[in-house]
Amino acid sequence: MMSINPFSILAETVSPLTIQIFVLAMIALIVVGTVIQMIHHKNITYFFNNAKKAKLAAERELGVVEKTSVILKTVVHDIATTAELGAGKRRVAHVLGMYGTILFWVASVMLVFCYTGAGKTVSTIWPMIWHVGAIMTCVGGYWFWLFLRVDVLAEAHPWYRIIKADLFVLALLACATTGLAWSYFQSAELMGLSYLFLILFVTSNIVLFGGVYWSKFAHMFYKPGAAIQKNLAEADGSRDNLPPLADAPKQFGLGIKREQPKHY
C-alpha cells in the first residue's frame, strides 16, 4: 500500500486528464477563495495601513541586510517551527499536522502530474511521501482535535462540539483519513469500499478547498506575513504602537502555581 500510487490505479478507469483538471480546479478554488476573503475582510488594507503606521513610528530605519536577516529568522524560527506556541504538546501537534499536510499536498501534485497516466514512470518514493504525509496529518490533527483545542482543554466543552471555525481542520482530517482508507481498500482490491472512500475523498477535498472563504484556510497565508511584520516592527522600534517591555520582575503570586498553565 505505502509504495503504490493510488492515482495511477484510478487512471485505469478515470482519464488522467480528468484527475489533473480536478487538482487544478482545487488550486483555483484556493486562489479565488483567498482573494475574495482578503477583499471582504480587507486584510491587505489592514497590513498596508499597519506598515505605514509602523514606518512613521519607527525609531530607526532598517537596511536591506538587516531586514533580510529578520525575515529569514522569522521564517526559520517562528513560521517553520510554530515557535509562537512555545514548547509543549500543542506545538508538536501543529508541526506534525503542518508538515504532514505539506507533504500530502506536494506528493498529490507530483503523483497526479508526473507519475499518473500511460507512459509515465513509476515512483515508490512519492507514494510513500503521500501516505506518510497523510498519516502525520491524521496524528497531529486528531491529537489537536480530541485533546488540545482551547475550548476542549481549557473551557471544558466536549470534543464533538463543532463551530464554523472548525471547518478547516475537520475537512483536512477528512481528506487525509478518507485518502488513506481509499488507498488501503484499493490495494486490498475491495473495490466497493475503495469507490466509497474515493467519493468521500473527492467530496472532502471540495469542502476543504471550496470552503476557503468561510474557514481558517487563508490564515496559513496571513500568519507568516503578520509574524514578519511584527518582528520588523520590533527591530525598527515601532513595536506596533505598543509600549516597550518594562524592565521589572514578574510578580504573579502563588496562584499561578496551583495548576498547570493551559489557558490560552
Q: What is the pLDDT of residues 51-78, one digit of tens each?
A: 777 777 777 777 888 888 888 888 888 8
Q: How far apart are CA 211 and CA 218, in angstroms?
A: 10
**pLDDT band of 251, cuts 50, 70, 90:** low
Residue 36 to residues 31, 43, 44, 115, 218: CA-CA distances in angstroms? Answer: 9, 11, 11, 33, 10
**pLDDT band of 239, cuts 50, 70, 90:** confident
120 CA to centre of own chain: 30
**pLDDT band of 248, cuts 50, 70, 90:** low
> What pLDDT is recorded for position 176?
96
Q: Summarize the confidence of residues 79-90 as an average pLDDT.
A: 78
> What pLDDT is recorded for position 180?
95
- 82, pLDDT greater than 70: yes
Q: How far apart are CA 264 and CA 256, in angstroms?
A: 14
In this structure, are residues 137 and 169 in contact, taking their beta carbons and an 8 Å threshold?
no
**pLDDT band of 38, cuts 50, 70, 90:** confident
Q: How far apart are CA 57 and CA 61, in angstroms?
A: 10
Cell 477563495 belongs to residue? 33
Contacts of 109 (CB under 8 A, 6+ apart): 23
The model's pTM is 0.81
Q: How far apart are CA 6 and CA 184, in angstroms?
A: 9
Listed residue (100, 123, 98) closest to 113, CA to CA: 123
Listed residue (182, 206, 168, 201) closest to 26, CA to CA: 206
Which amino acid type is present at position 95? V
DSSP conformation letters of 172-197? HHHHHHHHHHHHHHHHTT-HHHHHHH
Q: How far apart are CA 178 and CA 171, in angstroms?
A: 10
> Helices marked H in the chain — which ranges?
6-10, 16-41, 43-57, 64-73, 89-114, 125-143, 150-153, 167-187, 191-210, 219-236
> Helices marked H in 211-248 — which ranges?
219-236
**pLDDT band of 165, cuts 50, 70, 90:** confident
